[in-house]
């Protein structure tokens, strides 16, 4: 069997009192129970990335982590029909490290369930030569979708997470091989 794919889960919200950890922890438990992945977390609250895109030791370490990863998932809230600014900075802070790698999305929010944020992110990740995974996970009225233990009974989301991980593993595996045998033309 192939070695597990290094999957970095990027947590977007950096807001005080954010709901993000509930959604992110649920997804992390799901992903970590899947032997196809070796899962890490990049919580943007704890990784200071300058919005002016200047170079810092933290930026260098962040880019090294991206370079070592074979797949990504962004756990994103939706603010005013868009994605949080922290994610844009996170995407703009690297370049070659993203290329020819797959990225999936877990969105949450009020009425929209983060779907508008996700669709906007697809445009951005295409520009940085990533493959966006078709299946995405969405929680509308997110705070009602989880119980006090951080578990959800939202069958559609549970099913979507499994499908998304399956597609992410497929792309991750094939693109990892392809990057080695036939370097991506940039």
Ligand X SMILES: Cc1cc2nc3c(=O)[nH]c(=O)nc-3n(C[C@H](O)[C@H](O)[C@H](O)COP(=O)(O)O)c2cc1C
**Interacting residues toward ligand X by CB under 6 A:** 13, 15, 18-20, 77-81, 109-112, 142
Task: Assess contact for 5 and 170: CB atoms under 8 A.
Answer: no
Nearest Cα neighbor of 9 from 34, 43, 37 is 43
From CA 23, how far away is CA 139, in angstroms rounded? 9
Nearer to ligand X by Cβ, of 45 and 59: the residue is 45
Q: Which is nearer to ligand X, 53 or 85 (CB)?
A: 85
Nearer to ligand X, 18 or 122 (CB): 18
- Cβ 86 to ligand X shortest distance, Å: 10
CA distance 69 to 173: 12
Task: Tell which residue, 26, 18, 17, has the closest CA to residue 147.
Answer: 26
Q: Output the smallest distance, CB 143 to ligand X, in A.
A: 7
User: CB of residue 84 vs ligand X: minimum separation in angstroms?
Assistant: 7
Nearer to ligand X, 20 or 106 (CB): 20
């Amino acid at each position: 069997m192939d070695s597990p794919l290094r999957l970095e889960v990027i947590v977007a919200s950096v807001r005080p009192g954010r709901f993000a950890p509930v959604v992110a922890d649920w997804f992390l438990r799901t992903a970590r129970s899947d032997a196809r992945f070796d899962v890490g977390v990049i919580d943007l609250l704890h990784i200071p990335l300058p919005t002016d895109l200047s170079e810092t030791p933290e930026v260098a370490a962040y880019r090294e982590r991206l370079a070592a990863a074979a797949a990504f998932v962004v756990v994103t809230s939706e603010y005013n029909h868009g994605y949080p600014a922290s994610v844009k900075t996170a995407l703009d802070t690297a370049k070659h490290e993203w290329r020819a790698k797959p990225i999936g999305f877990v969105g949450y929010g009020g009425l929209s369930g983060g779907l508008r944020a996700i669709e906007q992110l697809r445009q951005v990740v295409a520009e940085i030569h990533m493959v966006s995974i078709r299946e995405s996970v969405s929680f509308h009225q997110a705070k009602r979708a989880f119980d006090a233990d951080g578990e959800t009974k939202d069958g559609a989301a549970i099913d979507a997470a499994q499908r998304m991980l399956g597609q992410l593993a497929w792309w991750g595996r094939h693109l990892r091989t392809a990057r080695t045998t036939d370097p991506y033309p940039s």
